[in-house]
Structure 1
């Protein structure tokens, strides 16, 4: 099989893994320029009778439909192709290069509370989008979450176990057959209703809560006991220092009865965001703070510091749509060992906290770690509430002072100074993204430049620099920055599209069009590239093609006033005036102040007398 082309276009590079129901392969697409990599998932059909093939076809059609629907989210792999060949079924999907979360959630090495909250928040943000599409994932667990190398964001994978929520009756009206879903998921992360084949949105919430408890306790969920009376999970004894507010949220997420849980991921996310910790919304998902050195070279010892744990070595996945084992299921991960330049893997930094109620002086030591001390400096209380640990020591007069007598860093801007180079570059790039979104272009550019100085091969920082230079109307420099991003990341559709934006800004419309078309091939789910393509085609006077492209954009995102306006422009040129009015009314419904739509509607009314 490895010597043939799958689907007539995919050349197998190597097998990534296999499970009870599927195999996955890393492949190259020989029909596209530069032969980009993607992943092929093959359903293994052992019995080729008609009934089995029909069931396999239904499962894969469902997964393909859901993946196409969900692929618009930047943290869900996009679907490239879906095909059947010789009674075998294949999905071609975006290749995610990164590190599986189960390589970081290790047995016996609990995470700090801040780190757990940041993880839960990011997972729930992705899952909220999934639930809004009326989809239940059913297999949330560490091995189905990848920390993407390119930008440090989590990616949710393996939608082979998905269930779409429908209003279909329990019994088929014609056949009388029972429409009951089989139990699919992974032991330890499945609530009781999912075992019974009746998953709900809150079943996913349960799995995310279990993920948080696993990280917080350092224990696999199958090792956690249940209360013999209530059947609730008895986990708090394994995390004695957890704050009561976070514990209450986790307890609600993993209630035995689904009616007592948060009904969807959005409600769980809101509860998490309401925790008394303002740092959660300010710092990116990989920012784990600690002060590593104290006065005179002494540093505090942290009970939950897992800094001796290296990022896992390169590893392939164990994919299958149905998981019975502890944590073996995933679809596309390739774990990367981040080098420290000396051939060894770098070490992740753990967040460190201390609760006021748990504070006790350590015997035989002059230095101590404390979250807040009644009567201490006001800044201590602010930092404690934010989740940042403060390192103090006693001076000659018995007064507690900060280690090194250093100025306390500003939480939202200087926290990255506490990180090692690899994570500092990620922190700075995320900070640059925020500044760019706020329209603070010179500050954003300076931040991206600093990230590049720290990590010269970090593609995400070059992309941020490219976007900022476009915003500053410096397209030639922007193209150079996008080329740098592409030099360090061979598959980077966002950089291809941004380079097209820079070419368009220079008036080089044909060059921009070629780049947008390339982006469409590389990532068909990217709404923005289809819109860019339609806009440029309309500028070139190719309105019929522009209409086709912008319809692709609208199919992926119906909430864009610009997309509806471009559709209005194309249909106006094609003299489809009724469609023009409808498109412009939709654009102004979405954004009543959108200038291009207002101007075109006024022109249409004057011309048509409406």
Structure 2
């Protein structure tokens, strides 16, 4: 460590100005970056008092990597600039926030509207953090700044050891949560102080902070009734709806508390806020606006009789007319935002048809909306319509050439189409903009695998793992892609990575039917059908009509319990009558297990009508027609399957059987030979 005029220099560039704080995890300094015009920054030194230093080092380095990337993307969290080791100590460097701590703004009670605005801003930050599996665990006034630059609230005091990484088993997490208490009494709920924090532990801290701003009472002095609920005194002047929201935020029972921030946003939408703007300068002298001023202003028109009432009514009607005109004028700008939100919501719910309808509304109103075309591409990609998706991504990129999401998804489509060099180029373009983009590294690895460059592929996957080890969907996509190129054995390690990430994710999100369903699919890939069935059932316990779980359940039960499988496919077809999968599954069952070939053909024809290029449906149709001795029709169906999937050994084998039945022995033998060439067992073919 160097010194300059008596001041320490860390990492060869950071000059320590003074110590800011000291706690159980280490020391925080104010410093100057000598390589950036002496700009101020904050340095946190990891110095765990009650933890194994080697384990601390591993977690600190891994999470520093993640935080450096992830926390750059939210403007109300201090940016992480650097990580380094020096003299067996470990340091994080982050942005310095100029402003005022809420701890210093508690002298006066805040008005209701200002508190609601504060809650909404911090909820947005928490929503971002929770989506990337980070729990702050110390939300309180001293860890929230009012930034001077833009009057925005900033959540501070992030240490790497405070990220909850679900991939690590509880004993390692316990190292930090039970041996060293994390959280501040009064602001931290009981389960957090007991070492078992959840996402709603942060909600509790925010609720307590908001109550203190509103009432001026420290959490330790709040009164609770025998059910341990907050007692709201009349002197607080808090309306019933806000009081009920805050009460639920700080419920001592985590099961009764809000589970996710989106639930709070929904309830807050019912509250009208007169003035949401917060001005930094408002806090220089007095933090409370006299609410009586507003009530006096609105009361005066009524004090001088009916004339004032008439004028007030005319003004109100005029204002309403102006509002309606403004709404009509801005409607074309607001509606696309709503449709985009709806489209992304349907995508998240795995309803691509509905999503595509919403995104199409966007492009109808705004033909030059890159987001609208990207959304339409995502919907088609989700439906397996690759060429259509590629066309829409091209449209989005013609409008916005550096659109990262469109570039990454274009790369995914190109890899699925076997155009690996083009896919690689798309992902490289993303990485030139953001070298830590997880999707780009994942896609780059898949493209390298397709190009036969296994070392480069594994290096790309390792880079992805360093940045975000806990994204199950990324590992799932990698597994699918490698399975196509290299086969199931090569894909197995990546499916196992996906499974580990899903298991960890579901511990934190046990009510997520999509994750349970995807985990079931991964278990099927790992040839664990009974475990997969359990996972699908977990999804259906959350949502009995969850379409993809019904399909998965039907596929698993087709062998051992065909009647239950048929019920699952029937229900899935009722939920999504326009989807091809349930009709296909139903058709296969009817012909293979129930010998109801005519009924099977009806189902298979419906599947083909909905997805004409789905080779397995044509194969199953050929088998059903063959069972009915309609050999010419069967051959036509199998030839279509062969055209769509020329490397399917089962198509060639069944085609040989049909040709044999038609008396075309030479052609049948050619078809059998092709089946054997593709891996079909010769001893399972008819003998000449």
Task: Write the distance in 2 (CA, Å) between the matches of 1:17 and 1:597.
Answer: 66
Task: Write the distance in 2 (CA, Å) between the matches of 1:581 and 1:163.
Answer: 25
Give per-residue Cα distances to partners, 1:152-177, cap 9 Å, x unaligned.
997776135638696559999xxxxx
Q: Say yes or no: does 1:240 pair with 2:242.
A: no
1:530 and 1:550 in contact (8 A); partners too: yes
2:442 and 2:460 in contact (8 A); partners too: yes
TM-score after normalising by structure 2: 0.47
Number of the residue aligned with 2:400: 478
Secondary structure in 2 aligned to 1:473? Answer: helix
1:188 and 1:221 in contact (8 A); partners too: no
2:28 and 2:45 in contact (8 A); partners too: yes
Secondary structure in 1 aligned to 2:472? Answer: coil
Q: Decide whether aligned partners of structure 1 residues 184 and 580 sit closer, same or farther in structure 2, where only a CA change above 3 A counts.
A: closer
Give per-residue Cα distances to partners, 1:55-114, cap 9 Å, x unaligned.
666555545455556766865889787543212212357x69898884998754435275
Q: Say yes or no: does 1:141 pair with 2:129.
A: no
Q: Decide whether aligned partners of structure 1 residues 140 and 398 sit closer, same or farther in structure 2, where only a CA change above 3 A counts.
A: closer
Q: Say yes or no: does 1:88 pair with 2:84.
A: no
1:503 and 1:509 in contact (8 A); partners too: yes
Number of the residue aligned with 2:310: 395
2:427 and 2:440 in contact (8 A); partners too: no
Cα displacement (A) at 1:515: 3.6
Give per-residue Cα distances to partners, 1:188-243, cap 9 Å, x unaligned.
5245676x66564364332021133245x1x555388422876865565464242x
Cα displacement (A) at 1:532: 3.0
Task: Write the distance in 1 (CA, Å) between the matches of 2:124 and 2:394.
Answer: 31
Give per-residue Cα distances to partners, 1:442-492, cap 9 Å, x unaligned.
65676799xxxxxxxxxxxxxxxxxx998352535523x66xxxxxxxxxx
Task: Write the distance in 2 (CA, Å) between the matches of 1:236 and 1:411.
Answer: 42
Task: Write the distance in 2 (CA, Å) between the matches of 1:142 and 1:469.
Answer: 50
2:248 and 2:257 in contact (8 A); partners too: no
Task: Write the distance in 2 (CA, Å) between the matches of 1:193 and 1:580.
Answer: 35
Q: Say yes or no: does 1:22 pair with 2:14.
A: no
2:250 and 2:257 in contact (8 A); partners too: no
- Of the candidates 474, 479, 482, which is equivalent to residue 567 of structure 1? 482
CA RMSD of aligned residues (A): 6.6
2:14 and 2:34 in contact (8 A); partners too: yes
Number of the residue aligned with 1:226: 222
Q: Decide whether aligned partners of structure 1 residues 181 and 309 sit closer, same or farther in structure 2, where only a CA change above 3 A counts.
A: same
2:441 and 2:460 in contact (8 A); partners too: yes
Number of the residue aligned with 1:339: none
Q: Decide whether aligned partners of structure 1 residues 503 and 568 sit closer, same or farther in structure 2, where only a CA change above 3 A counts.
A: closer
Number of the residue aligned with 2:208: 210
Task: Write the distance in 1 (CA, Å) between the matches of 2:101 and 2:614.
Answer: 45
Number of the residue aligned with 1:272: 264
Give per-residue Cα distances to partners, 1:487-524, cap 9 Å, x unaligned.
xxxxxx98997999999999866754544444664x3x
Secondary structure in 1 aligned to 2:473? Answer: coil
Cα displacement (A) at 1:307: 5.6
1:141 and 1:211 in contact (8 A); partners too: yes
Cα displacement (A) at 1:115: 3.1
Gaps of 5+ in 1: 46-50, 173-177, 281-288, 291-301, 314-349, 353-357, 369-392, 418-423, 450-467, 483-492
Task: Write the distance in 2 (CA, Å) between the matches of 1:89 and 1:603.
Answer: 55
Q: Decide whether aligned partners of structure 1 residues 16 and 6 sit closer, same or farther in structure 2, where only a CA change above 3 A counts.
A: same
TM-score after normalising by structure 1: 0.52
Q: Decide whether aligned partners of structure 1 residues 397 and 312 sit closer, same or farther in structure 2, where only a CA change above 3 A counts.
A: closer
- Of the candidates 417, 426, 441, which is equivalent to residue 530 of structure 1? 441
Task: Write the distance in 2 (CA, Å) between the matches of 1:442 and 1:506.
Answer: 33
Task: Write the distance in 1 (CA, Å) between the matches of 2:338 and 2:104.
Answer: 24
1:138 and 1:185 in contact (8 A); partners too: yes
1:533 and 1:549 in contact (8 A); partners too: yes
Secondary structure in 1 aligned to 2:267? Answer: coil
Cα displacement (A) at 1:559: 2.1
1:145 and 1:154 in contact (8 A); partners too: yes
Q: How does 1:298-313 map to 2 (within 5 A)?
A: 309-310=280-281
Number of the residue aligned with 2:341: 434
1:431 and 1:447 in contact (8 A); partners too: no
Task: Write the distance in 2 (CA, Å) between the matches of 1:567 and 1:17.
Answer: 51
2:188 and 2:204 in contact (8 A); partners too: yes
- Of the candidates 249, 253, 256, which is equivalent to residue 249 of structure 2? 253
Count how many residue pairs are aligned between Structure 1 and Structure 2: 453
Q: Which has the higher helix share?
A: 2
1:500 and 1:513 in contact (8 A); partners too: yes
Q: How does 1:32-431 map to 2 (within 5 A)?
A: 41-43=43-45, 59=56, 61-66=58-63, 83-91=84-92, 102=102, 107-112=108-113, 115=117, 118-119=120-121, 121-123=123-125, 125-126=127-128, 128-129=130-131, 133=133, 137-141=136-140, 144=143, 158-159=158-159, 162=162, 168=171, 180-186=178-184, 189-191=187-189, 200-201=197-198, 203-214=201-212, 217=214, 222=218, 225-227=221-223, 237=234, 239-242=236-239, 244-255=240-251, 258=252, 260-262=253-255, 267=259, 269=261, 271-272=263-264, 275=267, 277=269, 309-310=280-281, 362-365=298-301, 394-396=309-311, 401-402=316-317, 404-408=319-323
Q: Say yes or no: does 1:549 pair with 2:460.
A: yes
Task: Write the distance in 2 (CA, Å) between the matches of 1:477 and 1:547.
Answer: 34
2:28 and 2:42 in contact (8 A); partners too: no
Secondary structure in 2 aligned to 1:406? Answer: helix
Task: Write the distance in 1 (CA, Å) between the matches of 2:51 and 2:217.
Answer: 36
Task: Write the distance in 2 (CA, Å) between the matches of 1:52 and 1:121.
Answer: 32
Task: Write the distance in 1 (CA, Å) between the matches of 2:410 and 2:125.
Answer: 30
2:446 and 2:457 in contact (8 A); partners too: yes
2:187 and 2:219 in contact (8 A); partners too: no
Secondary structure in 2 aligned to 1:563? Answer: helix
Q: Decide whether aligned partners of structure 1 residues 123 and 16 sit closer, same or farther in structure 2, where only a CA change above 3 A counts.
A: farther
